Amino acid sequence: MIDFTPVREKKMSIGQLTTVLNKEDLRRLTNEMVDAMLALIADCVDADVIFQPIDPDAYDDYAEDEDEVGLAWKLGHVIVHATATAEENAFLSAEMARGVPARRRRSRYETPWEKVTTIAQCRARLEESRRMRLACLDLWPDAPHLDNVVTPWPSAGEVNAVGRFALGLWHDDDHLAQIANIVQQAKAARA
């Protein structure tokens, strides 16, 4: 899997980190990421999906309900959030690769986390996300427009289609420890 440490430590931008990557690398990295998430939840049961973890650092400034701003996310919530962000970046990267003028905008749909209550739903959501992300790579032309760039937000720096896609992988990577922590807490509660 790709090591995003230089980006997290602000030693490198996502665009710089991804200059050596191509579409086939993104395909491989997507499969590795989804497989890693599936491995983290491999031994989970339905009760783990709706288990309310403890997270003293929980803060969601995008929460629609003020009561949910400091609420720790359940496993199903993290899965639908991570997959939605990765898909958003995959779809936007396909547009960029095709030469559609890049803009700072959203292209996002997030499955309502409250409806994800089983481990089968979590696994299905991850597999559906894998399929959609890989399909976005299939939309790329043979000669992608890698000179088409955008700055999604100031600290992200400038990215082309490869970097835009990788933003989703970076976001996934940011949630791996959170998923592992939720699973650990849920298993301990079951024991």
**Report field, pTM of the whole predicted structure over 0.85:** yes
Which two tokens mark 134? 């890989």
Contacts of residues 112-116 at CB distance under 8 Å and 24 or more positions apart, as own/partner, are 112/80, 113/73, 113/74, 113/76, 113/77, 113/80, 113/81, 116/49, 116/76, 116/77, 116/79, 116/80
Class assignment of domain 21-190? mainly alpha
Which two tokens mark 14? 């996502």
Q: What confidence tens digit (pLDDT) does each residue in 141-158 have? A: 999 999 999 998 888 889
Given a cut of 80, is residue 178 above it in pLDDT?
A: yes
Q: What confidence tens digit (pLDDT) does each residue in 81-126 have? A: 999 999 999 999 999 999 998 876 778 888 999 999 999 999 999 9
